Amino acid sequence: MEEKTFEPKITAFVCNWCTYTGADLAGTSRLKYKPNIKMIRVPCTGRIDPVFIIKAFEKGADGVLISGCHPGDCHYNTGNYHARRRWVLFTELLNYIGIDSSRLFFSWVSASEGKKFVDVVTEVTETVRKKGPFIQYHKINKEFVLDE
């Protein structure tokens, strides 16, 4: 029963110049995908801090997608290279803690890749859907009494 009604919550952090614009293109091309994903725009993948990802899980995300310009195409020259190196460390760290690649996704989607954007989003949505709700994080979220 649970599985049929489960709609994963997916938070995405995307760069302004490539993936966000690629999502625009998916729209203007009238491509279709599931509405599970909600995007937060940042100027560059270099701006993305791992605390964003942790906070997204704390706010109930079942999966997180990070996406930006292809290597060499960064609007800010090197932002995505610096980001990529930190992601290597961060994915390994989260994987070690128990948040693996079925919860946390990375992609390069350029402004001209509306189709790829849809493919990535669909794959992410379906992978998380199959994996099911992130019950471990939901559990510690639920136990938490807001101190704000």
Partner 1 sequence: MHEKTFRKACADSGLNPFLCEIANLREHCSWVHEDIVEGTKKAIDLVRIAVERVKRNVPLSPIQVPVTKKALVIGGGISGIQASLDIANAGFDVVLVEKQPSIGGHMSQLSETFPTLDCSQCILTPRMVEVYQHPRIKLLTYSEVENVEGFIGNFKVTIRKKARSIDESKCTGCGLCVQKCPIKKKAYNEFEEGLAFRPAVYVPFPQAVPNIPVIDRTVCTYYQTGKCQMCVKVCGREAIKFDQEDTLITEDIGAIVVATGYKLYTIDKKPDAQEIKGYGEYGYGKYKDVVDGLQFERIASASGPTSGEILRPSDNSVPKKIVFIQCVGSRDESKGFSYCSKICCMYTAKHAMLYKHKVHDGEAYVFYMDIRAGGKGYDEFVRRAIEEDNVKYIRGRVSRIYEENGKYIVKGEDTIAGMPVVIDADMVVLATAITAQPDAVKLAQTVGMSYDKYGFYNEVHPKLRPVEVSTAGVFLAGACQAPKDIPESVAMASAAASKSLVLFGSDLLEREPTVAKVNESICAGCFYCQKVCAYNAIERKEIKDRQGNVVKVIASVNSGLCQGCGTCNAVCPSKSVELVGFNDEQIYAQINALG
Partner 2 sequence: MNELRQLAKELLGNGTVKVIIGYSEGTTPERAKPFIARTEEDAGKLIFNKYCVNNLAVYLTRKEFKRKGTIGIVAKGCDVKAIVQLIQENQVIKDDVYIIGMNCGGVVSGFGVDDTAVKCNNCKVKTPHLYHTLLGAPVETPAKDDGHLKLIQKLDAMTAEEKWSFWEAEFEKCVKCYACRQACPLCYCEKCIADKSMPRWIESSAHTRGNFAWNIIRAFHLSGRCVGCGECERACPAEIPLSLINRKMGMVAKKEFDYSAGMALDAPTLVGNYDTADREDFIK
> Which residues of the shown chain bind partner 2 in the complex (CB under 8 A)?
50-51, 54-55, 58, 71-72, 78, 81-82, 84-102, 105-108, 120, 123, 136, 140-141, 143-145, 147-148
Of 54-62, 94-102, 122-130, 131-139, the window that binds partner 1 (rule: CB under 8 A) is 54-62
Tokens of 108: 């390069």
Instruction: Name residues contacting partner 1, limited to 85-124 (CB under 8 A).
Output: 86, 118
Min dist CB 142 to partner 1, Å, is 12
Of 76-84, 89-97, 99-107, 126-134, the window that binds partner 1 (rule: CB under 8 A) is 76-84
24 binding partner 1? (CB under 8 A): yes
44 binding partner 1? (CB under 8 A): yes
**Residue 48 region by backbone torsions, left for phi larger than 0, else alpha for psi between -120 and 50, else beta:** beta
The contact set with partner 1 (CB under 8 A) reads 7, 9, 11, 21, 23-28, 30-35, 38-40, 42-44, 46-49, 52, 55-56, 58-61, 75-79, 82-83, 86, 118
